[in-house]
Structure 1
């Protein structure tokens, strides 16, 4: 087995705890094909009044080494929960590393790029580990809870953008999981795939908007033509029926006056 995952605490780490953690984490790290092992710091984490299971500090490294936090609270210290939290936070850290390379950062924390990377890591781990319950089954709405930037105003509605994000991740995760790409390369590829997906949607949306614009233009031209026809018809009726009747009425009136 490869070199261990570095585990530390704010207090000196218990070696038995480090060994127990590595028995869980090393098979996951190997299965997911990390180029660099993401270190673990055990910490009492809190977000407001609720305990926090894990955290990946944005653009924060220990020296040049990536690391994530795992909560020291007992309710999170079960084998499958630890595995799930570790890979969840590692997905954040991988996107963080890819963002530094691209000199940008995703607008969403739990968005389409994150969901795809997490799916790939969970799938690879499930194929290689002997966990009783599959990690993939733990994916839920929280993992794609942030609305992504999409061009269509209708995509502001959750019932539209959530299926789009899910469609994007489900259509790509299996091929990436079965590829020879490292975990870090997966994060970079996920970013590129989302850019392509979003651009395709923008193209489709622009095409649809152009078609709508052309349809509205045709409707406007048709309304204008109908208006001209109505005016011509009104003039024709006036010429054929109304004006002669006015002329006849004027003639009769002149006869009455003469008599």
Structure 2
């Protein structure tokens, strides 16, 4: 219903402008449909990158293989294979290649002085409702309680073993950002009265959504319709060292994972 109302607004704007004709109406609807389709494709790539980035930060594994992912002869990403954990695929596609003119957000991470990684949005720290920066790496579990000392044995006989300590509490997974278009949120019933072709961000497990896409930008030098870049991973360096792979991120941060 909300989509229909939005499209009805487009129709009325054309009619009231005094220059209504079928071609302009269908062109307007077609352009919006293409824009939403491109944005949905882009946000799926970004959500996949967010998952992969968190895996790189939290992982205690090492890399065994890096395989380029190509499309039409161009490298668009990499599949990272580990010794123990499941492989991940990261993408470095530019939104300009997908015909997106809206200034979409740049999600990345930065390592602070406390040694932890934190999510960023357009270079600024992402914060929760209480104003706290949102960690990208999980929290360590609490240590278990020490076991009880064993009883002393009688002369010539060994004492009894002490009781084992309690297992520590498992660490908590850090919350991660998630992106959706306004159309998706309305279709899924997660929100209403949104702009269909805008990007929304949640940092509280889908409890609330905030619009984070901006106004239309100018054409990028290499992009077809949008700004160049706006990607999470800017480079995957496998040449500098044989001991580790360097993942270069938007904003200048680097993550080194041993091979």
TM-score by length of 2: 0.21
Q: Who wins on radius of gyration, i.e. which is larger?
A: 1
- Of Structure 1 and Structure 2, the greater helix share is in 1
TM-score by length of 1: 0.21
